[in-house]
Amino acid sequence: MNLEKKILKLLEHDAKMSSKTIAAILDKDENVIKEIIEKLEKDKIILGYNTIINWERLGEDGVTAMIDVKVAPEREVGFEKVAERICRFPEVRCVYLMSGTYDLSVVVTGETMKDIAWFVSHRLSTLEQVQSTVTHFVLKRYKQDDFIFEEPEEDKRLVVSP
């Protein structure tokens, strides 16, 4: 694996890992690591850094929905153009082209179910290529991006052992 890939593997699991720590793991100079990360950011290989938050623990009730969208593909551009248009809406978090019974899977977040209903009826369904939508609301999140949404597991080991 080349150095860039090794750095990306480490950051994929922990975006907050410092260049110093990465440098120690990969036996490289810290500045070399910094430069590579900057280049990866510039080249849009690293698109950004998110935080995975358990909002529910904070008592915040956001709403997330996964919407199956059937789309009429267009000559020349297929699904690209409509997918790009859907991406532009700020409430849309993810857009995937899918195999199977529908075409696009769209993940939308809002504060209330009404927000999402409004988005589907006023924004999404009104696009001329969109033929139908099926909206699934997320009831509970158990695991996301490697993290399990439960009480953090404490270290159960003896503090000192031979």
Partner 1 sequence: MSDMNKYLAKTVQSIPPSGIRKFFDLVTQTKGVISLGVGEPDFVTPWHIREACFYALEKGYTMYTSNSGLLELREEIAVYMKKKIGVEYSPQREVLVTIGVSEAVDLALRALLNPGDEVLVPEPCFVSYAPGTVLGYGKAVSVPTYFEDEYRLKPEILEKYITPKSKILILAYPNNPTGGIMEKEDLEKLREIIIKNDLIVISDEIYSELTYNGEHVSIAALPGMRDRTIVLNGFSKAYAMTGWRIGYACGNPDIIAAMTKIHQYTIMCAPIMSQMAAIEALRHGESEMRRMIDDYNNRRKIMLSGFKEIGLDCFEPKGAFYAFPSIKISGMTSEEFCERLLFEEKVAVVPGNAFGANGEGHIRCCYAASIKNIETAIEKMGNFLDRHRKG
Contacts with partner 1 by CB under 8 A lie at 10, 14, 17, 21, 23-27, 153, 155, 157-162
Cβ-based nearer residue to partner 1, 139 or 160: 160
Cβ-based nearer residue to partner 1, 76 or 155: 155
CB of 24 to partner 1, least distance (A): 4
CB of 118 to partner 1, least distance (A): 41
Q: Could you tell me the CA-to-CA distances from 89 to 7, 18, 86, 137, 162 in Å, in that order?
A: 32, 33, 6, 18, 57
Q: Which residues of 122-156 are buried (b: 16+ CB within 10 A; e: fewer)?
A: ebbeeeebbeebebeeeeeeeeeeeeeeeeeeeee
Cβ-based nearer residue to partner 1, 58 or 160: 160
Cβ-based nearer residue to partner 1, 4 or 115: 4
The answer to whether 109 touches 62, Cβ cutoff 8 Å, is yes
CB of 85 to partner 1, least distance (A): 40
Q: Please choose, from the candidates 37, 66, 64, the residue with its C-alpha nearest in 3D space to the C-alpha of residue 53.
A: 64
CB of 32 to partner 1, least distance (A): 14
Cβ-based nearer residue to partner 1, 23 or 92: 23
d(CA 34, CA 20): 9
CB of 162 to partner 1, least distance (A): 5
d(CA 154, CA 130): 48
